[in-house]
Amino acid sequence: MALALNIVSHSEAETAALAQKLALFFRAGDVIVLTGELGAGKTVFVRGLATGLGIGEDLVNSPSFTVVNEYPGGKLPLFHFDLYRLGDPSELQEVGWDEYRRRDGLIVVEWGERAGYQLPPAYYRVKITPLNEQQRQIDVAYLES
């Protein structure tokens, strides 16, 4: 499925609602790479995805210190990675990256650009750019190498 969207969100609620709608299109095994500066709204986007999958958004926290959180249940399990503290892409092997990729779930990776060569040949990239205090430019693309 080819997907390219460019949307301006005017609030956290709109960002979460967009992700909730997009969750309907993702399949088991898909990888979503989230990029954007601190406070851009990456975790808000993940909460929306969780809601769209039937997982309680209140369960979703940024896994900055654990690298990955699992949210079972819903349409698909959600595997939420946060690579902010990752020093080298090879460190992903220590947290079971390949095993997660073989499981039937949706993988969402905050700071996904830090995964480097560990990213699959095809994935969705969601780039969130703050325009001001409330507005965010959200660009979604399907990338293949």
Domain ranges of the chain: 9-136
The predicted structure's pLDDT at residue 2 = 59
Work out the mean pLDDT of the chain and round it to a whole number.
92
Q: Which two tokens stand for residue 13?
A: 């609620």
Sign of CA dihedral 119, 59, 46, 129: negative
Confidence (pLDDT) at 67: 87
The ranges of the chain with pLDDT < 50 are 1
Distance (Å) of CA 6 to CA 39, 41, 71, 113, 140: 19, 15, 28, 19, 6
β 31-35/106-110 pair status: parallel
Task: Assign a CATH topology to domain 9-136.
Answer: Rossmann fold (3.40.50)
